[in-house]
Structure 1
């Protein structure tokens, strides 16, 4: 661990040596002591981690020295040590931004010890948060968050890069499960606001009567049950990005209030009068066609033009070709590693089956499907029979992938054989076919 550098400005040589000796008992601390403000200022290029200053110095008062330090270094913490017990002086210095104010007495050296520990811990936490935010920015690089190499996806990358360079509103559309929130996060964490808050709000998940209070907040006593003040999502996202998912579900009455907030760039909590200025980036998403919703009268036209900004239309998985296999392998490796299953491969028969499927649930469905196959497969390879389709839409239940009539017939017979515990006679009776037909398929190796 590198030394923690402390500058100590104290014109009383004896008292300065006393404090230096006491603080130096911690071997991590390196103390550099000065008797004048000028000497301290001349050495600030060494970038100390903390500075303690006496309020009364021979060449400059402590408050003036503090101002000079701030002109050079806006971050370094400063502790003021004074023989004055004037509370007004202490309050003024604390208002100016000093980290602590200590009065010289028999307990000063112990209080200084504790204050340094407290300040150092806060500095460590801030560094850790900054590092984590930096890592988040790297984690959400486009190529790492959206897996695939298709031309359709590369085009999305180009648009996202443009979106990240400005504060323009972004509207993300696409079927359920195509990764709209992932795109929103990637834009935020690659923008100038990446060190600020990202606040996602799923409009479809909030009861209609609570939407306004969730978005805009409320004051204590604004309505029955409002026992404390609540900060709304817009206020929470101030300085950062707010992501309104499924915005088409927003009630018309709240749409008008949202429009006003976006126009005025300010919000007023329910039951309050204070206007809170907003500095936010707005990202929205929907699986519906907003322009069609406007024509139907379900969405305000003026709000539509306010939020549409830069449109990003995410392609469904079925239009991304070989990305299906790249994603499947990515999800499989991740699941196998997490569950200590060892290395699992995908057989060609399973790959062909995945590529023929329509994926109404898109990436979310593929992930669930691959994880189930990893559990169900025997050995270290997923084969076609391990892939289970669970389409929920009626049109997908009828024809969920392109096959020949013979392939569909084999699938149906396999299904009923499994259901009937491989009882050929019961299966033939259920399907109204001759049992010899099934035996012939078994003999030919079509059915195991």
Structure 2
């Protein structure tokens, strides 16, 4: 795409002047130039999809307004630079409103101004092409087969549901244990769906303190609260026209659930401290490790919000239920790690494979990845043996307790390990360790813990 010629049509009934512009622009050998002396001939050639049309405003067969309109109707991406012998501000403003890129008055500086204008247009076209290329690459990266690796029946059912989800903008709810790849599935659905070239914004609900979540989601106005020094757009505004992924939605405080429900129903938000109603058009994908139906029964999750978010449910199976996928994933992770680190090819012995298949993997795919990468490092030969795979953490615990440290230091280390293990999910860690979430937030604020 970058090597394609940059096409410029010069439309001017003055033969001498069109040749002057052609000569000046031909100094750039990358430009492909074509002259036209009537609007009829130029419009008949618009199928060639020029990047730029320089338009003489005063043509004998059609006026400039009409030609501009027809060019934009046929090729909205074609930029039109109007060149006129009249310095009429009202006309210039009107043409710019109708889609002209620039309005240049004919004088001795016109060729130079036109050169600069077209240079800017080409830079913008190149940037747009690079962005589109990156989006295509992202789409390929999140191709279903690249995101979820496996051939088991449970994972085939997931593929089928992802395929259905990607064909429409239906709300999707993803349920699965920590480490099963919920966010990867959300990204794959977005980048393979109708909104793939629009924003994708992810929010980890559990990682945001209760008092900040409303501002994070819906934004705030300057002065809305202490520390609000400037207006800030919320995640819903950032995701407008695209997708918002609300991870660990089950952790959303009950007091904020009604506000989220209203946003989903009305498709509009109001920033904290503001009165302006802002329309938003976003696709919703949510994920949780909790059983939301059970949370509804407990009274911790609104029933109306539950049904609003249920949409198309996708249940990610834990790794222990995926059978031979364990070995398929292990090989994938080992190959990728070896290539990234310049190692030779590594394979798993039959005993090592059996050892992996017999383990329940409470940490799911994330645990498997860490485990086989470590095994690849520990292995001295080309074949990873059974002894290179170590599930036991007893020696780690022993070494940990043998260190002479204060109780506070031990406590900080334990909380940090759990934060790392559970992706900085503060509420989940607080629940696992049976401590107050405010304690963890305070330690993060005091920089005793890291959530980077």
TM-score interval for Structure 1 and Structure 2 normalised by the shorter chain:
0.7 to 0.9
C-alpha contact (below 8 Å) 2:72/2:99 kept by paired residues: no
**1:105 Cα deviation from its structure 2 partner:** 1.9
CA displacement at 1:344 relative to structure 2: 0.8
Gapped regions of structure 1 (runs ≥ 5)? 392-396, 398-411, 417-448
1:323 maps to 325
Instruction: Tell me, in whole angstroms, the C-alpha distance in 2 between the residues paired with 1:316 and 1:47.
Output: 51
Equivalence for 1:433: none
Structure 1 residue matching 2:53: 3-state secondary structure? strand
Shift of 1:390: 5.4
The residue number in structure 1 matching 2:277 is: 275
User: Equivalent residue of 2:13, what SS?
Assistant: coil
Other structure's SS at 1:218 match = coil
SS at match of 2:86: coil
Indicate the SS of the match to 2:361.
coil
Q: Give 1:84 deviation, angstroms.
A: 2.1
The residue aligned with 1:36 is 38
C-alpha distance in 1 between matches for 2:392 and 2:72:
63
TM-score, structure 1 normalization:
0.85
1:366 aligns with 2:368: yes
8 Å contact kept, 2:180–2:316: yes
Deviation at 1:73, TM superposition (A): 1.6
Within a 5 Å distance, the mapping from 1:158-173 to structure 2 comes to 158-173=160-175
Among candidates 253, 259, 262, match of residue 260 of structure 1: 262
Deviation at 1:87, TM superposition (A): 2.1
Higher mean alpha-carbon deviation, 250-259 vs 119-128, is at 119-128
What is the aligned partner in structure 2 of residue 139 from structure 1?
141
Aligned ranges for residues 25-424 of structure 1 at < 5 Å?
A: 25-389=27-391
- Cα deviation code 1:405-437 (max 9, x no counterpart): xxxxxxx9xx99xxxxxxxxxxxxxxxxxxxxx
Structure 2 counterpart SS, 1:33? strand
SS in 2 for 1:239: coil
Residues 246 and 287 in structure 2, CA contact (< 8 A), matched pair in contact too: yes
Q: What TM-score do you get using the length of structure 2 for normalisation? A: 0.84
2:178 & 2:48 partners in 1: Cα distance? 55
Q: Over alpha carbons, which structure has the higher Rg?
A: 1
Distance 2:73 2:339 in 1: 52
Q: Which residue of 1 aligns with 2:22?
A: 20
Q: 1:127 to 1:390 in 2, by over 3 A?
A: farther
Task: Give the 3 Å change call, closer, same or farther, for CA 341–205 of structure 1 in structure 2.
Answer: same
Q: Following the alignment from structure 2 to structure 1, what is the Cα–Cα distance between the partners of residues 258 and 18?
A: 65
Match of 2:11 among 9, 12, 24: 9
Which is further off, 277-286 or 55-64?
Answer: 55-64
Runs (5+) with no aligned partner, structure 2 = 399-452
CA RMSD of aligned residues (A): 1.7
Distance in 2 between the 1:385 and 1:301 partners? 50
Q: CA deviation at 1:387?
A: 0.9
Q: Are 2:200 and 2:243, in contact at CA under 8 Å, matched by a contact in 1?
A: yes
- Deviations along 1:277-316, one digit per CA (max 9) or x if unpaired, are 2221111000111111111111111111110111111111
- Secondary structure at 2:103 match in 1: strand
Measure, in 2, the Cα distance between the counterparts of 1:223 and 1:62. Answer: 53
In structure 2, how many angstroms separate the alpha carbons of the residues matched to 1:225 and 1:91? 42
- More deviation, 131-140/192-201: 131-140
Is this contact kept in 1: 2:51–2:77, CA < 8 A? no
CA distance in 1, matches of 2:99, 2:326: 55
